[in-house]
């Protein structure tokens, strides 16, 4: 297998963290999308959507979309399950993961992609007003997660899951739009502090800090 990824982008980071938590190592190639490498014909042949990450299997099958990649990794490595073990657990994890993905990570991404001048070549048209309109939505979503964590150890209940990974990736990425979890959201801040202590999180953050190509 070969994983096409990026060290700082949030969706590739989700897969990096998922792999670290599972203890799975994958041959990884880092693609510089800021310099047009996603638009190269060689990469478009792998993923015509021109997005990262992409996992290419030994038989040549290309799996894109971070959650789809994580599901494949989970099925192939069932120990330390991160997608749930019962029907109820899997449904709750999926629900909260979708909320973290569509309701938070996507909102942060919209602010970043539509307000950062460096993203203008990749986001056409870049609509600053749309980006700024997402900022208050981010705070509303963070408050929902804070309430959920008032009575739950992890996002989807008592078990650490991909929902925690997605939420962490979203909050960690929010630093690029100069947004932090407000002081009054104490449950969320406590959860984040515990996440930072996890060996898997530390391993994934170390990958993010590295600048040399793998």
Domain boundaries, the chain: 2-81+203-209, 87-198
Four-point Cα dihedral 121, 127, 130, 132, nearest 10:
80
The stretch 102-125 carries a mean pLDDT of 92
Q: In the prediction, which pLDDT does 213 show?
A: 42
Does the 87-198 domain belong in CATH 1.10.490.20?
A: no
DSSP state of 86: S
Q: What's the confidence (pLDDT) of residue 118?
A: 86
Answer yes or no: CATH 3.40.30.10 is held by domain 2-81+203-209: yes
Tell me the average pLDDT across 102-121.
93
Asked if residue 77 lies in contact with residue 26, where contact means CB atoms within 8 angstroms, the answer is no
pTM listed for this prediction: 0.93
Question: Among the residues of the chain, which ranges form H helices?
Answer: 10-22, 41-46, 66-76, 87-100, 106-115, 128-133, 135-148, 162-173, 186-197, 199-209
**pLDDT band per the 50, 70, 90 thresholds, residue 211:** low
Measured CA to CA, the distance from residue 181 to residue 164 in angstroms comes to 15
**Mean pLDDT, rounded, of the chain:** 93
Q: Write down the pLDDT at residue 149.
A: 98
pLDDT digits (tens, 9 = 90+) for 53-65: 999 999 999 999 9
Residue 65 has φ and ψ, to the nearest 5°, of 75, 120
pLDDT digits (tens, 9 = 90+) for 5-64: 998 899 999 999 999 999 999 999 998 877 778 888 888 888 898 889 999 999 999 999
The confidence score (pLDDT) of residue 55 equals: 97
- Tokens for 209? 């800090």
The CA angle 77-102-10, to the nearest 5 degrees, is: 60
Q: Which residues pair with 28 in a beta bridge?
A: 3
């Amino acid at each position: 297998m070969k994983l096409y990824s990026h060290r700082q982008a949030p969706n590739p980071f989700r897969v990096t963290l998922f792999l670290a938590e599972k203890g799975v190592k994958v041959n990884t190639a880092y693609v510089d999308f800021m310099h047009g490498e996603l638009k190269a014909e060689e990469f478009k042949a792998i993923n015509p959507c021109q997005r990262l990450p992409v996992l290419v299997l030994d038989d040549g099958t290309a799996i894109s979309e971070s959650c789809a990649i994580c599901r494949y990794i989970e099925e192939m490595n069932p120990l330390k399950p991160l997608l749930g073990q019962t029907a109820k657990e899997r449904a709750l994890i999926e629900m909260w993961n979708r909320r973290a993905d569509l309701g938070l990570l996507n909102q942060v991404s919209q602010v970043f992609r539509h307000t950062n001048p460096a993203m203008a070549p990749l986001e056409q048209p870049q609509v600053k007003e749309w980006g700024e309109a997402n900022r208050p939505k981010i705070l509303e979503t963070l408050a929902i997660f804070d309430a959920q964590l008032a009575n739950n150890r992890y996002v989807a209940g008592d078990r650490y899951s991909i929902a925690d990974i997605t939420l962490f990736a979203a909050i960690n990425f929010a630093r690029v739009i100069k947004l932090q979890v407000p002081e009054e959201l104490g449950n969320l801040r406590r959860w984040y502090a515990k996440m930072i202590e996890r060996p898997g999180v530390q391993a994934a953050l170390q990958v993010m800090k590295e600048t040399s190509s793998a």
